[in-house]
Amino acid sequence: MEKITMPQAESRSADLVNENLELLKQIFPEVIKEGRVDLEALHDLLGSYADTAEERFGLNWAGKANARREAQKRSSGTLRPCPEESVDWDTTENLYIEGDNLEVLKLLQKSYHKQVKMIYIDPPYNTGKDFVYKDNYNDNLSNYLEQTGQDRRMSTKALSDSDGRYHSNWLNMMYPRLKLARNLLTDDGVIFISIDDNEVDNLKKICDEIFGEENFFMNVIIRANSRGQTYKQISKTHEYLLVITKSDATELLELEKGSDNSDLNLVDNISNYNIRELRNRNPKFGRHNRPGLYYPIYVNTSIADKDGFFPVSLSQNNGFNVEVYPLNSEGKESCWRWGKSKFANNISNNTLNSNLIAKNKSTGGFNIYEKYRKTTFKPKSIWDENGFLTESGTVQVKSLGFNSEFEFPKPVDLIKRCLALSTTENDVVFDFFSGSATTAHAVMELNAEDGGKRKYICVQIPEETPEDSEARKAKFYTIPEIAKERIRRAGKKILEEQKAKNDGLFAGETPKLDVGFKVFKLDSSNVNAWDSNPEKLEAALNNSLFNIKEDRTEDDLLYEILIKYGIELTEKINRHIIAGKTVYEMGAGSLIVCLADNITTDVAESIGKLWNKVRPEDENVKCRMVFKDSGFNGSDEMKTNTMLILKQHGIINVSSV
User: Looking at the predicted structure, is the pLDDT value of residue 156 above 80?
Assistant: no
pLDDT of residue 133: 62
Average pLDDT, the chain: 87
CA 495 to chain centre: 24
* Least confident segment among 134-138, 297-301, 359-363, 556-560: 134-138
- Of 131, 71, 127, nearest in space to 103 by CA: 71
Q: Rounded to an integer, what distance in angstroms lies between the CA atom of residue 645 and that of residue 608?
A: 8
* Planar angle of CA 161, 167, 168, nearest 5 degrees: 130
Number of other residues whose CB lies within 10 A of the CB of residue 435: 24
Q: Rounded to an integer, what distance in angstroms lies between the CA atom of residue 157 and that of residue 630?
A: 43
For the residues 313-322, what does the mean pLDDT come to? 94
User: Looking at the predicted structure, is the pLDDT value of residue 259 above 70?
Assistant: no
* Planar angle of CA 142, 146, 149, nearest 5 degrees: 135
Q: Is 20 helix (H, G, I), strand (E, B) or coil?
A: helix
Q: Rounded to an integer, what distance in angstroms lies between the CA atom of residue 629 and that of residue 545?
A: 9
Q: Rounded to an integer, what distance in angstroms lies between the CA atom of residue 431 and that of residue 423?
A: 14
Domains of the chain: 13-56 (no CATH), 78-254+379-522 (3.40.50.150), 266-377 (no CATH), 535-656 (no CATH)
* Least confident segment among 24-28, 69-73, 604-608: 24-28
- Of 59, 382, 378, nearest in space to 219 by CA: 382
Name the band, by pLDDT with cuts 50, 70 and 90, for residue 261: low
pLDDT of residue 57: 75
Q: Rounded to an integer, what distance in angstroms lies between the CA atom of residue 6 and that of residue 567?
A: 20
Q: Are 383 and 220 in contact (CB under 8 A)?
A: yes
Task: Name the helix (H) or strand (E) containing 121.
Answer: strand 116-121
User: Looking at the predicted structure, is the pLDDT value of residue 119 above 90?
Assistant: yes
The pTM score is 0.81
Terminal CA-CA length for the chain: 10
- Count of residues making up the chain: 657
Q: Rounded to an integer, what distance in angstroms lies between the CA atom of residue 231 and that of residue 358?
A: 57
Q: Is 60 helix (H, G, I), strand (E, B) or coil?
A: coil
Name the band, by pLDDT with cuts 50, 70 and 90, for residue 378: confident
The crossing angle, in degrees rounded to 10, of helices 200-211 and 166-184 is: 40
Q: Are 215 and 245 in contact (CB under 8 A)?
A: yes
